[in-house]
Structure 1
């Protein structure tokens, strides 16, 4: 009996399966069709995205190619401009050699030819020095007077004297300087053979020295920084003083041998220096030329970086910086202790020619000229002045 029931159950299940099979197959077919539709949509989207990507890639490649072409054009234009500038500089040098610039030594020739100066002229000049309120308006002429072997050095005259003597500091450190009776003796003979040797009691360091009112003021670096006042007439040390600044660093970024640069103008003696406390900017101090005491000190906004040298005129500091062009240096920072003139107001000053690196610049208040040592060349720059109140 049980066997019959079992057989009947299996038979019923088989009949039921046969009856449900068309519905199951229809369900399976619907699911497969749905999958196929989704796959078709995915394929279409993939194809569209791939097409858009290829289009975007082609656009980018076209832009890159265009940029490369433009870069090459700009590079070609830059090379052409550089070539033109170099050719122009060569032509200017050629013209200068054929037609020399107006001499900067007119003042010296006048002094040589003049036997005496009237009392009225002396009074006017003294009044002008006392009431100095001028600013450099232009560098109007230059003259190369000689070339020595040393790329770095200093040459100057007594900045506040009628003396015609010329003093040479050859190199960046020594205990001997050279004295020439007049500029002609210096320029007419090669080298320093005609110069009188003056041996100093201490070695000088850098190119920051000056001759002022019959005295040589020079920098001694060892054992620590000192300003030495040397009487050129008696050949003796008249005074010396420790420079009060601590932790000093080179004052010019492109002249690492200068820690203190002495300058003189119509108002007196100055020291240009830098310290680690203010290591990004140049400092300025006014000295008493009789006692070497510091009268006043200023922190200027003039950066040390890329500075080559500096000079002071009428209480205004002019800092010379190196530009990218090989033959150009310019004054990019001006600091006036009277606050009458600032860098934005001051005229833009370019030096008409540059050989290498400016090792020293000394201003002569009597002649209104700069004495520069540029890569072994001894150069005089003649200045045009203007009243500060007129700017």
Structure 2
């Protein structure tokens, strides 16, 4: 009996010893884990304090830098305002100087007007009515309006004097143009894609297109220069003709994409093209595309950017390669009725770049200009040509 009791007590003691051993091992493990966590927490606190210090230093540096930039911006803005004021003053002085000392325009006149020579007057009067029945000449730019900006740096926009519809040719080569019912519709549109798309049978080249009496006249270049007459009402090609030039030279050196510039005025359809270093003029039959007569204007191509025709008188606009102030420096009248003293001083205020196109609307007496993607309207002031206001010769 005693032996049995002793055996049971031995078992209980052994189990209790083993439990105390496992309990101590668990406590040691937990204590070690707690120490490791405390070390990590201490390291995190140290890194967090260092990060906060770095962030505080960065904020201070950023504040100092922004303050410095603000001061520099204020100074730069002030300098720019001063420079803009100086530019405006210089432009006003240039305008005054140009008005008081107009440059001598390049005017070709095979036979100068001689008031005493009745025979010459009568001959010129006959020539005038053979080519043109219009007696107006540009005297100045009366007003300017910047409509909006859309499309590429170069392009054309023009208005048909008959239908009053506006046509936009984006870029210098494409086969799709955009039609708007009015200038107002174009000005309120969000882009050229809002207009009616007109797909042409071939791509145009350059910026020498003309819209006249419901027809589009444009130049298509392949192996030869071809004038296409396109009926805008029914969407078909009405006629085409090869333009008789061998050398495909740009008519304006500052717009090398334009090889022929088709122009419409009060007297019909004209074509400006290059002949060596000068610009030539051709009168075209708008119905058959036949060339009726040709002239050498003697206007140089160099530094020319565009041209327009009013009442049979060509006005060539010049600029510089770094875009500056555009101005008319060469005038040619098909009837030799514009003398050197009568040739107008017309200059355009500097805007964005150089004109890629200038299209005259005889009904409104306005130029539709494309300048570095901006669509601009120039209102022209006209006066009578000198001979139109001269008294008739005495018998």
Q: For the superposition of Structure 1 and Structure 2, which TM-score range results when normalised by the shorter chain?
A: 0.5 to 0.7
2:159 maps to 157
Does structure 2 conserve the Cα–Cα contact (< 8 Å) formed by 1:248 and 1:273? no
Residue aligned with 1:88, SS: helix
2:385 maps to 388
1:339 maps to 336
Residue aligned with 1:203, SS: strand
1:293 maps to 290
1:260 maps to 260
Residue aligned with 1:135, SS: strand
- 1:344 Cα deviation from its structure 2 partner: 4.4
Residue aligned with 2:192, SS: coil
Does structure 2 conserve the Cα–Cα contact (< 8 Å) formed by 1:336 and 1:342? no
Following the alignment from structure 1 to structure 2, what is the Cα–Cα distance between the partners of residues 324 and 335? 24
Ranges in structure 2 where 5+ consecutive residues have no aligned partner: 1-81, 94-128, 391-395
Which of residues 299, 315, 318 is equivalent to 1:318? 315
Cα deviation 1:342-383 (Å, max 9, x = unaligned): 454312111134310110000001111100000111000001
Matched, 1:284 2:281: yes
- 1:149 Cα deviation from its structure 2 partner: 3.6
Q: Which fold has the larger relative contact order, with Cα–Cα distance below 8 Å and residues 6 or more apart in sequence?
A: 2
Which of residues 137, 144, 150 is equivalent to 1:142? 144
- 1:231 Cα deviation from its structure 2 partner: 0.4
Alignment of 1:171-190 (within 5 A): 171-190=171-190
Does structure 1 conserve the Cα–Cα contact (< 8 Å) formed by 2:156 and 2:357? yes
Does structure 2 conserve the Cα–Cα contact (< 8 Å) formed by 1:309 and 1:321? yes
Does structure 1 conserve the Cα–Cα contact (< 8 Å) formed by 2:323 and 2:354? no
Following the alignment from structure 1 to structure 2, what is the Cα–Cα distance between the partners of residues 326 and 244? 32
Matched, 1:200 2:200: yes
- 1:319 Cα deviation from its structure 2 partner: 0.1
Cα deviation 1:106-159 (Å, max 9, x = unaligned): xxxxxxxxxxxxxxxxxxxxx9x9731110001010001110141000000113
Following the alignment from structure 1 to structure 2, what is the Cα–Cα distance between the partners of residues 371 and 343? 27
Judged with a 3 Å threshold, the aligned counterparts in structure 2 of structure 1 residues 139 and 91 are, in CA distance, closer, same or farther, namely closer
Following the alignment from structure 2 to structure 1, what is the Cα–Cα distance between the partners of residues 268 and 251? 20
- 1:257 Cα deviation from its structure 2 partner: 0.4
Following the alignment from structure 1 to structure 2, what is the Cα–Cα distance between the partners of residues 258 and 342? 29
Residue aligned with 1:274, SS: strand
Following the alignment from structure 1 to structure 2, what is the Cα–Cα distance between the partners of residues 207 and 169? 8
- Across the aligned residues of Structure 1 and Structure 2, the Cα RMSD in angstroms comes to 2.5
2:233 maps to 233
Does structure 1 conserve the Cα–Cα contact (< 8 Å) formed by 2:251 and 2:279? yes
Does structure 2 conserve the Cα–Cα contact (< 8 Å) formed by 1:216 and 1:232? yes
Residue aligned with 1:312, SS: strand
Judged with a 3 Å threshold, the aligned counterparts in structure 2 of structure 1 residues 130 and 151 are, in CA distance, closer, same or farther, namely same
Residue aligned with 2:256, SS: coil
Following the alignment from structure 2 to structure 1, what is the Cα–Cα distance between the partners of residues 177 and 151? 15
2:221 maps to 221
Alignment of 1:1-391 (within 5 A): 85-88=86-89, 131-159=133-161, 161=162, 163-275=163-275, 279-322=276-319, 327-389=324-386
Does structure 2 conserve the Cα–Cα contact (< 8 Å) formed by 1:355 and 1:374? yes
- 1:248 Cα deviation from its structure 2 partner: 2.8
How many residue pairs end up in the alignment?
271
TM-score normalised by length of structure 1: 0.65
- 1:194 Cα deviation from its structure 2 partner: 1.4
1:31 maps to none
Following the alignment from structure 2 to structure 1, what is the Cα–Cα distance between the partners of residues 383 and 184? 31
1:119 maps to none
Does structure 2 conserve the Cα–Cα contact (< 8 Å) formed by 1:322 and 1:330? yes
Cα deviation 1:201-239 (Å, max 9, x = unaligned): 011000000110010001101131000000001100000
